[in-house]
Amino acid sequence: MNYAFAMYRLGNQLGSIFSPAKTIEKAGTMFLTPKRLGIKEWEQQAEQAGQRFKLSEEISAIRWLPAKKNEQEGVRKQILLVHGWESRATQMYGIAKSLLKQGFEVVAVDMPAHGHSSGTTSNPRVFTQTIQLAQQQLGDFEAIIGHSMGAGATAFAVGRGVSPQKIVLISGPSSIENALRRFAGFIGLNKKGVNRFVQFVSNFVGGTLEELDSALLLKKSNISALLIHDEQDMEVPVSESKRLAQSLKNSELYLSHGLGHRKILKSEAVLQKITEFVT
């Protein structure tokens, strides 16, 4: 832990005691405001390989087309990729390339306040609504593949009627409340502060936290699901995918070792597992 973050945690610990309302509001606003990180060189290549289009005035998406289309009975086979928090569509391109070789058309969406999409704040509910919008605008998907918050949102969307044939959930939370409590504790809020933080974010997002618990939403669901998680993930613990696997009747849990939360998207073994499952 570096000195600056240690001082930030200390400030939150003291603020939880002496100025809880202000401290919680500041922490909650920070949590709901994703940073737009710089684009990497390989992402620029991914951008050039695809076609940008608008799902709505606010939401940007990109489509990658296979060299040889795979069509059956006139139905286009398309797959939706959903990135995680403070990520963007082009960071899912490694998965897209593997699926393009199989003849799939691949679409990836920039979530609100991410990538080319507009906005300054975001949250799991608007991630979910964006997936619903993608199905409304583009039709059904053979599979939806999500990473991190995108995996959680994919599960929430399926629980609300989005209907792909299969889902792949990579390093995702099973419960937004669990994620909120981990984050609040990590930044130094005390027990009461953690509870206040969870309530603040819940009020901002709207609805109840039970509505953002994919293990409850998909309990005994028949959807075919592949859950992928690294046992050394320090951002979202593997226990989240294990909990979700217990709720899904038709799921497989694939565990990797030593890839962490982000390198998992570039692992050849993981990409092969995804491709085999989808095809």
Instruction: Please indicate, yes or no, whether residues 76 and 159 belong to a single structural domain of this protein.
Output: yes
Q: What is the mean pLDDT of residues 222-228?
A: 96
pLDDT at 157 over 60: yes
Q: What is the mean pLDDT of residues 140-165?
A: 95
| pLDDT value of residue 75 | 59
Q: DSSP string spanning 17-66?
A: HH-HHHHHHHHHHHHTS---PPPPHHHHHHHHHSEEEESSSS-EEEEE--
Instruction: Please indicate, yes or no, whether residues 3 and 68 belong to a single structural domain of this protein.
Output: no
| pLDDT value of residue 120 | 96
Whole-angstrom distance, CA of residue 243 vs CA of residue 183: 19
Instruction: Please indicate, yes or no, whether residues 119 and 147 belong to a single structural domain of this protein.
Output: yes
Instruction: Please indicate, yes or no, whether residues 10 and 133 belong to a single structural domain of this protein.
Output: no
Contact between residue 105 and residue 77 where contact means Cβ atoms under 8 Å apart:
yes
Q: With bands split at pLDDT 50, 70 and 90, how would you rate the model's confidence at 232? A: very high
Contact between residue 206 and residue 125 where contact means Cβ atoms under 8 Å apart:
yes
| pLDDT value of residue 208 | 81
Q: Do the domain assignments include residue 37?
A: no
**pLDDT tens sequence across 68-116:** 765 554 556 999 999 999 999 999 999 999 999 999 999 999 999 999 9
Total domains in the fold of the chain: 2
Instruction: Please indicate, yes or no, whether residues 160 and 180 belong to a single structural domain of this protein.
Output: no
CA proximity to 233, closest of 48, 51, 84: 84
Instruction: Please indicate, yes or no, whether residues 181 and 197 belong to a single structural domain of this protein.
Output: yes
Distances (CA, A) of 37 to 23, 85, 192: 25, 11, 32
Instruction: Please indicate, yes or no, whether residues 91 and 11 belong to a single structural domain of this protein.
Output: no
Which two three-digit tokens encode residue 123? 């949250």
pLDDT at 182 over 60: yes
Instruction: Please indicate, yes or no, whether residues 192 and 120 belong to a single structural domain of this protein.
Output: no
Whole-angstrom distance, CA of residue 62 vs CA of residue 116: 10
pLDDT higher for 150 or 42? 150
pLDDT at 21 over 60: yes
Q: For the chain, give the percent of residues with pLDDT over 70.
A: 96
Q: With bands split at pLDDT 50, 70 and 90, how would you rate the model's confidence at 252? A: very high
Residue type, 233: D
pLDDT at 66 over 60: yes
The CATH number of whichever domain residue 97 belongs to comes to 3.40.50.1820
Instruction: Please indicate, yes or no, whether residues 27 and 79 belong to a single structural domain of this protein.
Output: no
pTM for the complete prediction? 0.94
Is 26 buried (19+), middle (13-18) or exposed (0-12) by CB count in 10 A?
middle
Instruction: Please indicate, yes or no, whether residues 169 and 182 belong to a single structural domain of this protein.
Output: no
Whole-angstrom distance, CA of residue 88 vs CA of residue 117: 9
Contact between residue 151 and residue 95 where contact means Cβ atoms under 8 Å apart:
no
Instruction: Please indicate, yes or no, whether residues 96 and 9 belong to a single structural domain of this protein.
Output: no
Containing structural domain, residue 8: 1-31+176-209
pLDDT at 1 over 70: no
Instruction: Please indicate, yes or no, whether residues 165 and 184 belong to a single structural domain of this protein.
Output: no
Q: Do the domain assignments include residue 36?
A: no
Whole-angstrom distance, CA of residue 47 vs CA of residue 59: 16
Q: Do the domain assignments include residue 43?
A: no
Alpha-helical regions (H) of 50-190: 93-100, 124-138, 149-159, 176-186
**pLDDT tens sequence across 30-61:** 999 999 988 888 899 999 999 999 999 999 99
**pLDDT tens sequence across 192-212:** 999 999 999 999 988 788 888
Distance between alpha carbon 226 and the CA centroid of its chain, in Å?
Answer: 15
